[in-house]
Every structure is written in C-alpha cells, then in structure tokens.
Amino acid sequence: MRNSLVPLVAAVVLFAGGLLLIRPTVDRGQGGPEVNAGILRLPKRDPIRTAAAPLAGTTAAKLEHGARDDGLWRIVVVAGDDRQPTTRAAMLALGEALFAADMIAVMDPVLGASEPSPPLPLPADRVIRVATRESDIAATPAGTWRASVAFTVSEPRLPSGHPADGLQQPPSLSETLVLVDHEGRPAAGEAPGWPQRWAATGRGIVTAMLGALLPPSGLKRPEGQLTADWGSALPFPPTTPEMRWSGAFQHDLVRGWSGRINGRTVIGKTGAAEPAAAPLLRLLPRGDWQPAAGEGRWQQWSRLRDGQRQSFAIRDDGDGWTCSMWIERPDVAGLVDGWLKAAKGGDAAAAGHLRRLLATPALPEAQRVRIEQAAR
C-alpha cells in the first residue's frame, strides 16, 4: 500500500515543478482592457478606476465627413467593429466620458462566442462605432505607441427607402466620421504599467474625438427632451450569431431595430458554405413570422405578438444584408386626439409632439389637417 503512493506523489511533485517553470508570456493588462457587453456601470463616487499615465506626443482628430453633433444625448450605443486593444481602450474611455456626463453607455464589443448576443431594448440617441485603422503598439508600456482610430457616429433609424421610412421624423444628423491619429510615449520620468498606459491612450484618443465632434459645451444630458411613450417595452428582434443589431429607435409613429449581416457566406452545421442570411431566415418561422408582401428589394415578414403587429424586413446589398424589425403605431387618430386635448390645456410636451408629427412624411393627411387647424 505504501509503495503504491510513490508514483502518485512523484506525479504531483513533477506537476508542481512544471508550474514553477512556466513563466507568463503576457503581463497583466498588456492585451488592452476588457469590455463587457451591456450597460457600463461604474462607481458613482470614483468612476475613473485606473489612473492615466502622463504622456508626451501628439493626438489629432479630424472630422472626415458629416457635421458637428450637439452632444445632447441620453442613451448611446458604443460598438466595437474589431477586437483590437486600441479599439477596446477607446470604447472604455468613451463609456467613461458618457457615464461622467450622466448618460447611459450601452457597450457592444465584438464577441468571439458562437451564440448570439441579444441587444438591450433601449432606444438610443446615437450609435458610435469604433474601429482601429492602424496600430503599432510597442512591446512595453514605456515605448512609443501609434494608432489611427475611426469613430462613426449615426442616429439609429430605419434606412432610407425602407417601407416604413416615412413614419420616422427627419434625421437629426447625417452619418459622421471622426478619425484620430495618436502618437504617444510616457512623459519624462514616468514608468507606467500596462493598465495606466492603456487608460491614457484611450482617454487621449476619445478627448480628441469629442473635441472635433462636439461644440465647446461638450457632452450634456438634455432636460425635458421629447420622448415617444409607447406604454410598453421594446420587444427583442430575432438574433443569430451572424446578425449585428446596431441599435434601437423609438419615434412617435414607429419603433424598432436596424442591423446588418456582413459578408456573403458562413459555414453551416453540415460543414458546407451557405448564404450568411440563411440561419436568420430559418429562424423566422420558428418565431411565428409569416411571409408578407415585400416592397422593392425588401423581403418582408410579420407576426402578431403581445397584441402588437411586428414586421421584419431584409434586403440583399451585395456585400451583406440590411435587416430591420419595426412596429407601427396602431391608433394614430387616438394618439392625435390625446395630444390635441393636452396641448389645448397647456401641455408643452404634447404641443411639441404635434409639431414633430407635422414633420413626419407619412402622417395620415386627415391627422395632418386636424393638427394644422388646431394650431391656427
């Protein structure tokens, strides 16, 4: 019995010795910060958890196309277009800036999991996509780092030419691109660790981006902003690993999601290539989606769920598919009745909704006439 323990003890000793011989090849924080999907939650008293190392060098931002935004947001989706560490550092820094301005930052990093990641059903004011164009990160946090990071700012909404496009208010901005070029090194006498260096790099890039995008007042949560109340939560859209929903929107007459499938093919369960939209199209019948009459290049489906008529549409764009799910307001006349009555009683928000409806292209003509007559 005693001899039988000798091989076991020897194996344990060899295993322990092997662990001691193994040296980590990546220092803590070397691969950049982790960004988790969902609402960014930071401590209220001390939201900046990692101090930024003082840097020397240059960080310059250029508004490539589009126009300056107003920065009056409540909910912003911060989406990563790649898994580069500079992208994640910029995403986290942008989330920190939004949190500090009392806004909700919905983090949407590129995930490596094969399972779909359902988006959060929060209608957003902006979607900001972050992508690293180029990067040259030194082997140590004490070296010179170079990076070029692009920020694409858009308003979540149905695309132009969509069957329900006319139910939306006109867009408040066109898609805007800000490109930031960064070259930095630690300031004289500084010896930062990886976390402090990534924090400084990400925050420096984001500070430059916001300076080029926003007015001098910067980020500011609006007071008394008109929001479209639908009386219920926004339902989740159908989701597969190939599908990337960019954000949710909610207008007075329509609400929903817009998203995209990038690429033409994926490898199916049989190991053979198939169209990248095929998994989503197989999913729709399982969710009680029924084919409906399409418009133009849009294929459409619909279903009745929780008393709401939900619609889904997909369009082949050549290099991928544009997807959308939406719900149209069922009783526009009743909605106008309520707002007309409230506005007559001095409700400023109701009057604002009525003015906004007049800018909605597909507002039924009878309701447009009623609103215009009441305004005289």
Instruction: Evaluate whether residue 13 is within a structural domain.
Output: no
pLDDT for the residue 119: 73
Please check whether residue 218 lies inside any domain of the structure: no
Same domain, residue pair 73 and 206? yes
44 and 162 share one domain:
yes
Indicate whether 203 belongs to any domain.
yes
Same domain, 148 and 277: no
Q: Is residue 30 part of a domain?
A: no
Boundary (domain end) residue, out of 213, 238, 272: 213
Residue 180, pLDDT score = 98
Residue-level pLDDT at 178: 98
Is there a domain that residue 276 lies in?
A: yes
**Does residue 246 form part of some domain?**
no
Residues 201 and 269 placed together within one structural domain of the fold: no
The segments of the chain whose pLDDT lies below 70 read 1-26, 47-48, 112-116, 118
pLDDT for residue 352: 94
Range of the domain at 293: 264-327
Ranges of beta strands (E only) in the chain are 38-39, 55-65, 75-80, 104-108, 126-136, 145-154, 176-186, 243-250, 254-262, 265-267, 273-275, 290-295, 298-305, 308-316, 320-328
144 and 170, same structural domain? yes
Burial class (CB in 10 A: 0-12, 13-18, 19+), 193: middle
pLDDT, residue 203, reads: 97
Question: 74 and 189 share a domain?
Answer: yes
Domain check: are 209 and 65 in the same one? Answer: yes
Mark which of 197, 213, 229 sits at the end of a domain.
213
pLDDT reported for residue 18: 42
Residue 234 included in any domain: no
- In terms of domains, do 337 and 322 share one? no
Measured CA to CA, the distance from residue 137 to residue 302 in angstroms comes to 49
Q: Do 177 and 185 meet the contact criterion of CB atoms below 8 Å apart?
A: no
Q: Please report the pLDDT score of residue 27 as a whole number.
A: 73
Q: Count structural domains, the chain.
A: 3
